A and B are shown apart, each in its own frame.
Chain A
Amino acid sequence: MTYLEIALKCHKIIGGYGEGEALVSHEPICFYLTDPKTGIVREKSHELAGKNLANKVLIFPSGKASSVVQIDGLFKLALHNVAPKAMIVKDVETVLVVSAFMVKVPLVDRLEKDPFEVIRTGDFVKVDAEKGIVTVTKQKA
């Protein structure tokens, strides 16, 4: 089995380092609509419904919902040690920055290539926000 490693430059918003299996969502995410104890997405109509975001590197377009629920949602996941290890987003807003800051999860945007084209669910992703580098390891068939 061979592996393909791709390194991409990114823009740091919240610093730190996190690595894990990639979980890609094409829809915005509200952390309040996940099970705070397990990290399983409970939002019925969501493409990630039933999937678990615990300890994953989460790739998603943006956050959604009011500031109070979004921040409280991610905070509760972190309390139970089931928050994502890092987050890669396209459109960032104040509430998502605050959420990531509170739980010290690295948050980056502006990858030099479209993350939705490069990264697939199941790839192994390292996010080094301090250095501004995202490394994607893909398994070649």
Chain B
Amino acid sequence: MYLTREEKRILDGELGEGTQKALELLVAIGDAYDAEKMIPISRAHAASSGQEGDLYFVELLASGGARCRVPTSTNPVYDIKYFDSLFEVPKDEGEVARRVMEAYKRIGAILSWSCIPYMAENIPLYGETVAFSESSATPYVNSVIGAKTNREAAQSALAAGIIGKTPKYGLHIKENRRGTHFVKVETLLKDEFDYTLLGYYVGKRIGYGIPVFSGITRQPSTEEFINFCAMSNVSGAISMFYIPGLTVEASTVEEAFQGDTPKDKISVTDRDLKQACEELQTASGKIDFVMLGCPHYTLKQVEEVARLLNGKKIHKDVAFWLCTSATTRLLAERNGYVDIIEKSGGHVVVDTCIDEPCWIAYKNQVGMTDSPKCAYYRRFKEAIVGRRQDCVEAAVKGKWR
């Protein structure tokens, strides 16, 4: 790979060990893909987590003097104080989370602790070159916004944020952004949950690829896009997709395929989505918890929960959780939504991911969520997937069906 004089100096350690390690990783990735050179990025998102591997890398870089050169946001870990006040989170796990969050602060990241940073804390523009990890953020950034990012690991995105560059490979090259699968939607997609099911179904059918949709006639909402992006990366690996005319990068199906023929064609019928739904509704009866906000809820989604709960009491045997970003919670407080949810007996927690050890209290319990991604993590005995209104109703009744 071609390296500039400055890049060679970094590799020689002239800017410190942390920066050197960051560039070494990027060069290794570039070598793997035969990238010709590094290209500048304007922002990054590191999918931080309370895991030992993540801790090792961010501490190594931070202690070696590395600092983020471009805005670099962070994924949720968990609100240590909040969980400590309610449960006994294992001490060593809590310590890992505390050190991860401290190291990202030292390294100069934006402490967004949000998995949807493109909504508020770190928003790419159309055409921007960026490095966004978090499998649900990658397709949103590529397809909905029309910026360019590869499917990054937390560490490669952080390294890119420190150097301000990424190797030129993969989705940074136009030919690699062409569609691979043609997907004909033969059913009406009515709400957010239909997009959840669509993502889950299409991810499962395609696995790895770039689907191009036809048959979607209504502009999907922000939340519908978020759900599609998240769930298609639970059952598959979809870093980009096209809905020609409704997503920004191609206005026709032909343009999305760049003149190529699709590898495969699939259709999505009403029955397919119903079947996907049945597959996810793994149990019925008494529930112990409801878990919403995977990915983090937007203000609109928090408002809807508040509206559904207004004046009602959550069943005494059900723990009700809603995860969102600190930014969204601030607005939700201002608008009175947090007050309504808390009065009903629910928690609105910030900085927290469903896939963290802070949920250990529910390990052997059965609950409900509107997110297949939440269910997939297996932090619980059982997580039944249903629509948001069904989750709220079950929380009030204490049971699902």
Contacts and interface: CB of A to CB of B under 8 A. Distances in A.
- Residue among A67, A71, A72, A75 having the largest count of chain B Cβ atoms under 10 Å: A67
B28 A101 contact: yes
Interface in B31-69: 31-32, 47, 49, 51-54, 56-57
Given A71-B155, A102-B53, A97 B135 contact: no
A49 interface: no
A94 B24 contact: no
A97 B32 CA distance: 8
B381 to A, nearest CB: 20
Interface string A49-71: 00000000000000000111001
A118 interface: no
A6 interface: no
Name A's interface SS.
helix
Given A68-B51, A71-B155, A94-B156, A101 B25 contact: yes
A101 B28 CA distance: 8
- Residue among B135, B153, B355 having the largest count of chain A Cβ atoms under 10 Å: B153
Nearest to A109: B32
Contact of B53 (A75, A92, A109): A75
Contact of B47 (A12, A68, A94, A101): A68
B52 A95 contact: no
A68 B49 contact: yes
A14 B28 CA distance: 6
A68 B47 CA distance: 9
Contacts of B49: 68
B101 to A, nearest CB: 17
A13 B28 contact: yes
A66 B153 CA distance: 9
- Residue among A14, A71, A76, A109 having the largest count of chain B Cβ atoms under 10 Å: A71
A125 to B, nearest CB: 20
B24 A12 contact: no
Give the interface size bracket for A toward B. Answer: 20 to 34
A79 interface: yes
- Residue among B24, B32, B155, B156 having the largest count of chain A Cβ atoms under 10 Å: B32
Nearest to B150: A94
B29 interface: yes
A7 interface: no
B155 A102 contact: yes
A72 B153 contact: no
A13 B35 CA distance: 12
A102 to B, nearest CB: 6
Interface string B142-173: 00000000111111100000000000001000
Contacts of A14: 28
A12 B31 contact: yes
B153 A13 contact: no
A98 B52 contact: no
A62 B52 CA distance: 23
Contacts of A79: 52
B72 interface: no
B199 to A, nearest CB: 15
Contacts of A76: 52-53
A109 B28 CA distance: 12
B52 A72 contact: yes
B133 interface: yes
A101 B23 CA distance: 12
- Residue among A75, A101, A102 having the largest count of chain B Cβ atoms under 10 Å: A101
B133 A67 contact: yes
Nearest to B155: A98
A22 to B, nearest CB: 22
A39 B170 CA distance: 32
User: 5 tightest CB-CB pairs across the interface, nearest first?
Assistant: A75-B53, A67-B153, A98-B153, A72-B53, A92-B32
Interface of A: 11-14, 66-68, 71-72, 75-76, 79, 92-95, 97-98, 100-102, 109
Given A14-B28, A101-B155, 9 more contacts: A13-B31, A72-B53, A76-B53, A92-B32, A93-B32, A94-B32, A97-B28, A100-B28, A101-B24
